[in-house]
């Protein structure tokens, strides 16, 4: 039950008497939607939503209280949102080693306060030079079980350190050593393990026990830790100290040598050359208009931005808020739009440096209108009836004009960072490079390891996302920054593999269409459809019986699931108040200046 689930996290700031229309008189939304605030959200559900933190000055939100503290300390010390983002991300590497860190990669969007410009940085993992298209297939062409998920062969060349250093090099105000310092302290002095941490270690117990370095850090001679135990990570503290003195050491110095050597000894592909050649890439964000907001997100090699905008375009002018909260027509339209978008994802999305990705066509209003006409409001189309856009249509549209974590930071000046980064599965490949304390990713599984073979998240892919040396695996990470009339309006993101796009979509709709505050927007129950498998997930306890019945009658194949995602968001209201909220499904926090 979502209610029980949310209650479990009641240590987060829960509003016991929330009445969103009165608690958030100034929402991020314009006049158009104000009359529709939260119409029909059951009061018992509303009462479980987190209350946003509020500040006029600045805000840090992340998936772990200690990482949020690290970020807000930078803001207090005169740093900007970029300094705070680096400190938060490095702290996450220490306190959430199962979700993201310096052994992985990610994407960030930032807004420059001075110019209002929004930029996107790709520091995603890349395939090693020795990677090949069929590297996870046996001699008979069958997929080798778990080869892209567990062990050294699953690891892509990590980009987090290069990405964070690039962010800091361009924008940082505080010294690099100052932004690395909180993470060093957390690794050196240790921190208390939460229930959530223990759940993740239990889930990956077998693979952690197989790797000597991982076993030495994340177990006590093979015995699993318990909630409340203190975890000290000496090797990681030393690695962070080295990075603090010389960030290049990760790619060409001491740390790089240790990673390359570990790879060589255990059949991994990453060489010193792979690390030396790693570079983060500044990309143009992908932006589109929805209502009176301009929403920007990550372009390929993430599929997030393309499909977020595609779904919003297909929803188009349909006034969801007017239909009412969780109206079955509104939900059906959202789900059918998701189905179309994920079909296109499987066929067309990949690394734009290797394949042509039809971004403009997929995000065009004309294409969305065409796909909208296919949707029948009284019945689902089975996913085998829904195909990706065909070549002829792509040609026609050609000339048209033109286990993961998220953190969101806003500073006094309204610099904004919205960053999603990951090591992919829980504890990545389950590999720690000996002597470094770095948990290495299993991002290679985000490639289509064979056409039609589902990845960790059940996503299928095709040629566009086939493995090639130095290619970037396709992602679903969807950090967003939205503005209205050039002013910052909201930033958000979430982990959750294939569900990231639809989670961020619903947070954006909750804010922009349903006029919720940041706390309600990240708390509200979610649904998800990803074309294949042809199943509609509804969050347990989050949808009324009549709504579920109406969706069933249209033919939706419903599966009720415990909550997913671990989002966070920052909204700014019309009077300039910053609202920050972390998902009650996780243990994150928002702290205002």
Residues known to be catalytic: 404
Which residue(s) pair with 406 in the sheet? 420
Contact segment (CB under 6 A) with ligand GLY among 63-71, 172-180, 260-268, 471-479 equals: 471-479
Binding status of residue 424 toward ligand GLY by CB under 6 A: yes
Q: Are 561 and 540 in contact (CB under 8 A)?
A: yes
Residue 582 preceded by cis peptide, ω within 30: no
Largest pairwise CA distance in the chain: 65
Q: Least distance in Å: CB of 441 to ligand GLY?
A: 8
Q: Least distance in Å: CB of 566 to ligand GLY?
A: 13
Which residues, 6+ apart, have CB-to-CB distance to 5 below 8 Å? 540, 541, 562, 563, 584, 585
Which listed residue (121, 477, 480, 508) binds ligand GLY by CB under 6 A? 477
Judged by phi (left if over 0) then psi (alpha if -120 to 50, else beta), residue 579 lies in: beta
Gap between the Cα atoms of 467 and 497, Å rounded:
19
Binding status of residue 565 toward ligand GLY by CB under 6 A: no
Contact segment (CB under 6 A) with ligand GLY among 12-20, 368-376, 469-477, 532-540 equals: 469-477
Binding status of residue 506 toward ligand GLY by CB under 6 A: no
CB nearer to ligand GLY: give 271 or 499. Answer: 499
CA 410 distance to own-chain centroid: 18
Contact segment (CB under 6 A) with ligand GLY among 169-177, 190-198, 221-229, 474-482 equals: 474-482
Which listed residue (55, 88, 313, 475) binds ligand GLY by CB under 6 A? 475
Binding status of residue 351 toward ligand GLY by CB under 6 A: no
Binding status of residue 349 toward ligand GLY by CB under 6 A: no
Which listed residue (12, 27, 38, 422) binds ligand GLY by CB under 6 A? 422
Q: Are 61 and 154 in contact (CB under 8 A)?
A: no
CB nearer to ligand GLY: give 225 or 354. Answer: 354
Binding status of residue 297 toward ligand GLY by CB under 6 A: no
**Coil/strand/helix, residue 574:** coil
Q: Are 183 and 91 in contact (CB under 8 A)?
A: yes
Contact segment (CB under 6 A) with ligand GLY among 243-251, 358-366, 472-480, 581-589 equals: 472-480
Question: How many residues of this chain bind ligand GLY (CB under 6 A)?
Answer: 8
Binding status of residue 566 toward ligand GLY by CB under 6 A: no
Which listed residue (476, 483, 502, 573) binds ligand GLY by CB under 6 A? 476
Q: Least distance in Å: CB of 395 to ligand GLY?
A: 29
Gap between the Cα atoms of 386 and 275, Å rounded:
41
CB nearer to ligand GLY: give 404 or 405. Answer: 404
Question: 57: which DSSP letter?
Answer: S
Q: Are 53 and 62 in contact (CB under 8 A)?
A: no
CA atoms within 13 A on the CB side of 484: 18
CB nearer to ligand GLY: give 404 or 566. Answer: 404
441 phi, psi to nearest 5 deg:
-70, 165
Q: How many angstroms separate the Cα of 254 from the Cα of each of 153, 240, 241, 432, 523?
A: 22, 12, 12, 15, 44
Binding mask 381-420 for ligand GLY (x = CB under 6 A): -----------------------x----------------
Binding status of residue 271 toward ligand GLY by CB under 6 A: no
Gap between the Cα atoms of 181 and 17, Å rounded:
40
Contact segment (CB under 6 A) with ligand GLY among 56-64, 216-224, 340-348, 475-483 equals: 475-483
Question: 434: which DSSP letter?
Answer: T
State the alpha helices, DSSP H only, in 77-193: 81-95, 160-171, 176-189
Which listed residue (58, 328, 437, 497) binds ligand GLY by CB under 6 A? 497
Q: How many angstroms separate the Cα of 439 from the Cα of each of 9, 406, 416, 584?
A: 27, 18, 28, 26
CB nearer to ligand GLY: give 165 or 447. Answer: 447
Q: Least distance in Å: CB of 581 to ligand GLY?
A: 23
Contact segment (CB under 6 A) with ligand GLY among 251-259, 330-338, 473-481, 583-591 equals: 473-481
Gap between the Cα atoms of 546 and 542, Å rounded:
12
CB nearer to ligand GLY: give 80 or 424. Answer: 424
Binding status of residue 446 toward ligand GLY by CB under 6 A: yes
Q: Which residue is nearest to ligand GLY (CB)?
A: 475
Kind plus residue range of the DSSP H or E element containing 122:
strand 118-123
Strands (E), 286-361: 286-290, 293-297
Q: Least distance in Å: CB of 571 to ligand GLY?
A: 24
Q: Least distance in Å: CB of 442 to ligand GLY?
A: 9
CB nearer to ligand GLY: give 415 or 498. Answer: 498
Burial 266-296 (b: 16+ CB within 10 A, else e): bebbbbbebbeebebbebebbbbebbebbbb
Q: Least distance in Å: CB of 73 to ligand GLY?
A: 29
Which residues, 6+ apart, have CB-to-CB distance to 588 below 8 Å? 12, 61, 62, 63, 64, 65, 68, 566, 568, 582
Q: Are 96 and 428 in contact (CB under 8 A)?
A: no
CB nearer to ligand GLY: give 150 or 446. Answer: 446
Binding mask 179-208 for ligand GLY (x = CB under 6 A): ------------------------------
Q: Least distance in Å: CB of 422 to ligand GLY?
A: 5
CB nearer to ligand GLY: give 200 or 543. Answer: 200
State the alpha helices, DSSP H only, in 106-204: 160-171, 176-189, 195-203
Name the site residues for ligand GLY (rule: CB under 6 A).
Answer: 404, 422, 424, 446, 475-477, 497
């Amino acid at each position: 039950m979502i209610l029980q689930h949310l209650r479990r996290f009641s240590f987060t700031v829960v509003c016991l008497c929330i009445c969103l229309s009165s608690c958030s008189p100034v929402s991020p939304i314009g006049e158009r939607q104000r009359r529709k605030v939260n119409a029909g959200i059951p009061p018992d559900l509303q009462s479980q939503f987190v209350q946003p933190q509020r500040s006029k000055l600045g805000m840090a939100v992340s998936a772990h209280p200690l990482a949020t503290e690290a970020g807000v300390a930078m803001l207090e010390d005169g740093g900007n949102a970029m300094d705070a983002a680096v400190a938060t991300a490095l702290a996450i590497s220490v306190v959430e080693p199962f979700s993201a860190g310096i052994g992985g990669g990610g994407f960030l969007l930032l807004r420059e306060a001075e110019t209002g410009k929004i930029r996107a940085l790709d520091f995603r993992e890349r395939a090693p030079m020795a990677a090949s298209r069929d590297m996870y297939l046996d001699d008979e062409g069958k997929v080798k079980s778990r080869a892209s998920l567990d062990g050294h062969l699953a690891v892509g060349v990590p980009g987090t350190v290069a990405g964070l250093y690039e962010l800091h090099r361009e924008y940082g105000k505080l010294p690099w050593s100052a932004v690395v310092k909180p993470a060093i302290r957390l690794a050196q002095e240790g921190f208390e393990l939460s229930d959530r941490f223990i759940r993740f270690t239990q889930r990956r117990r077998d693979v952690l026990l197989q790797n000597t370095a991982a076993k030495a850090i994340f177990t006590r001679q093979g015995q699993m830790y318990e909630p409340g135990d203190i975890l000290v990570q000496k090797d990681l503290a030393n690695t962070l100290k080295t990075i603090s003195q010389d960030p290049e050491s990760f790619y060409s110095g001491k740390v790089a040598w240790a990673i390359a050597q570990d790879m060589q000894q255990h059949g991994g592909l990453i060489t010193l050359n792979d690390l030396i050649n790693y570079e983060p890439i500044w990309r143009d964000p992908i932006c589109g208009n929805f209502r009176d907001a301009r929403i920007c997100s990550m372009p390929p090699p993430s599929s997030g931005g393309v499909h977020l905008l595609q779904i919003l375009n297909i929803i188009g002018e349909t006034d969801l808020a007017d239909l009412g909260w969780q109206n079955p027509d509104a939900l059906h339209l959202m789900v059918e739009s998701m189905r179309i978008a994920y079909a296109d994802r499987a066929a067309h999305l990949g690394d734009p440096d290797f394949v042509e990705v039809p971004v403009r066509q997929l995000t065009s209003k004309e294409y969305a209108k065409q796909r909208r006409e296919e949707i029948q409001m009284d019945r689902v189309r089975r996913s085998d009836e829904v195909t990706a856009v065909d070549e002829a249509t792509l040609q026609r549209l050609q000339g048209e004009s033109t286990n993961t974590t998220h953190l969101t930071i806003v500073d006094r000046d309204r610099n904004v960072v919205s960053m999603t980064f990951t090591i992919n599965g829980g504890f990545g490949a389950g590999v720690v490079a000996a002597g470094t304390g770095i948990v290495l990713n299993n991002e290679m599984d985000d490639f289509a390891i064979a056409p039609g073979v589902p990845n960790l998240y059940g996503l299928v892919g095709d040629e566009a996302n086939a493995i090639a040396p130095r290619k970037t695996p396709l992602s679903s990470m969807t950090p967003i920054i939205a503005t209205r009339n050039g002013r910052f309006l909201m930033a958000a993101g979430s982990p959750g593999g294939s569900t990231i796009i639809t989670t961020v979509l619903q947070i954006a709709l909750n804010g922009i269409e349903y006029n919720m505050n940041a706390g309600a927007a990240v708390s509200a129950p979610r649904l998800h459809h990803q074309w294949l498998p042809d199943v509609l997930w509804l969050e347990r306890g989050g949808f009324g019986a009549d709504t579920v019945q109406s969706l069933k009658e249209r033919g939706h194949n419903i599966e009720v699931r415990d909550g997913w995602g671990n989002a966070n968001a920052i909204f700014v209201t019309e009077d300039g108040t910053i609202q920050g909220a972390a998902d009650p499904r996780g243990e994150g926090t928002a702290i205002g200046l």
